[in-house]
């Protein structure tokens, strides 16, 4: 039985002489593993590329479907530098967090929106924080950041801790700042409106802590791409 789906490429690797093993993100089936035969190695081949929406005819069943035909339905997004690194980070997070053939409402559109923001040069840090928060919400792992676990409203001038299993707690007196998050950062994370770099830095720390239990112990390869820029003094973004 065949079906046509719209899809983005999350990851692809060469397989044998002329094929690819591809992880697709689809709107109907979530993450799907696909064998794309004849997609590389010849002049007429059309390798599946990331950051581009395709219409794919899927055949077969099981863990690895077959790509019977592939048609690009839009021009490729031109990503370079930090925007490219950020997009690779987004792809790697999705491969880690999404199970195959488990559709998750909203993730396909979230991914497309995030790519569009990166492609037009939108500020990277807010775009990545929004993606991370919304992804966790869509997967059922999210928390409310405008209130504590006891239902008390978060105050902009307050100090808080975060437990990935429970949520936000008021910070006990004397706890070092490195273990706390500013209330203003939590409120900004909830609204997506970051007024300053301090709020973005706290939001980044908190999102890393929120994602950690779901990403596993293996380091993300995409994070290493930012190291040369940091070493050179370019701090535009650190995913």
pLDDT in tens, 84-114: 999 999 999 999 999 999 999 999 999 999 9
| Cα atoms in the 13 Å half-sphere on the side-chain side of 225 | 17
Domain presence at residue 213: yes
Name the 3-class secondary structure at 62: coil
Give the predicted TM-score (pTM) of the model. Answer: 0.90
Give pairs for 157-161: CB < 8 Å, separation 24+: 157/183, 157/184, 158/182, 158/183, 159/183, 160/186
pLDDT, residue 107, reads 97
pLDDT, residue 148, reads 98
* d(C-alpha 59, C-alpha 64), whole Å: 10
For residue 45, give the H/E element and its range: none
Residues of the chain with pLDDT under 70: 38-46, 226-239
149 and 227 housed in the same domain: yes
Tokens of 123: 């500020």
* d(C-alpha 93, C-alpha 83), whole Å: 15
pLDDT, residue 39, reads 66
Domain stops at, among 52, 72, 92:
72
CB 152 within 8 A of CB 167: no
Under 8 Å CB-to-CB from 100, ≥6 apart: which residues?
30, 31, 32, 33, 63
CB 161 within 8 A of CB 122: no
Domain presence at residue 85: yes
106 and 130 housed in the same domain: yes
Domain stops at, among 22, 42, 72:
72
Domain presence at residue 238: no
pLDDT, residue 83, reads 96
pLDDT, residue 235, reads 47
Name the 3-class secondary structure at 162: strand
Q: Which domain holds residue 8?
A: 3-72
Terminal CA-CA length for the chain: 41
Name the 3-class secondary structure at 118: helix
Domain count, the chain: 2
pLDDT, residue 42, reads 57
Domain presence at residue 139: yes
* d(C-alpha 223, C-alpha 239), whole Å: 7
86 and 178 housed in the same domain: yes
pLDDT, residue 237, reads 52
pLDDT, residue 234, reads 47
């Amino acid at each position: 039985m065949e079906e046509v789906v719209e899809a983005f490429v999350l990851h692809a690797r060469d397989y044998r002489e002329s094929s690819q093993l591809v992880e697709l993100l689809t709107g109907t089936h979530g993450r799907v593993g696909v064998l794309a035969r004849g997609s590389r190695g010849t002049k007429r081949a059309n390798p599946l590329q990331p950051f581009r929406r395709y219409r794919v005819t899927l055949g077969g069943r099981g863990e690895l479907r077959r790509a019977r035909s592939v048609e690009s339905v839009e021009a490729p997004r031109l990503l370079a530098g930090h925007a490219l690194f950020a997009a690779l980070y987004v792809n790697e997070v999705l491969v880690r967090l999404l199970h195959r053939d488990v559709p998750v409402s909203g993730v396909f559109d979230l991914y497309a929106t995030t790519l569009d923001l990166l492609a037009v040069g939108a500020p990277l840090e807010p775009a990545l924080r929004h993606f991370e928060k919304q992804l966790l919400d869509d997967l059922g792992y999210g928390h409310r950041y405008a209130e504590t676990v006891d239902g008390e409203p978060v105050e902009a001038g307050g100090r808080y801790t975060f437990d990935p299993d429970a949520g936000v707690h008021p910070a006990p007196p004397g706890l070092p700042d490195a273990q706390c998050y500013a209330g203003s950062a939590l409120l900004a994370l909830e609204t997506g409106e970051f007024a300053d770099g301090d709020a973005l830095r706290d939001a980044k720390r908190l999102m890393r802590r929120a994602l950690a239990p779901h990403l596993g112990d293996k380091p993300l390869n995409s994070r290493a791409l930012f190291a040369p820029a940091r070493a050179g003094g370019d701090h535009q973004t650190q995913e």
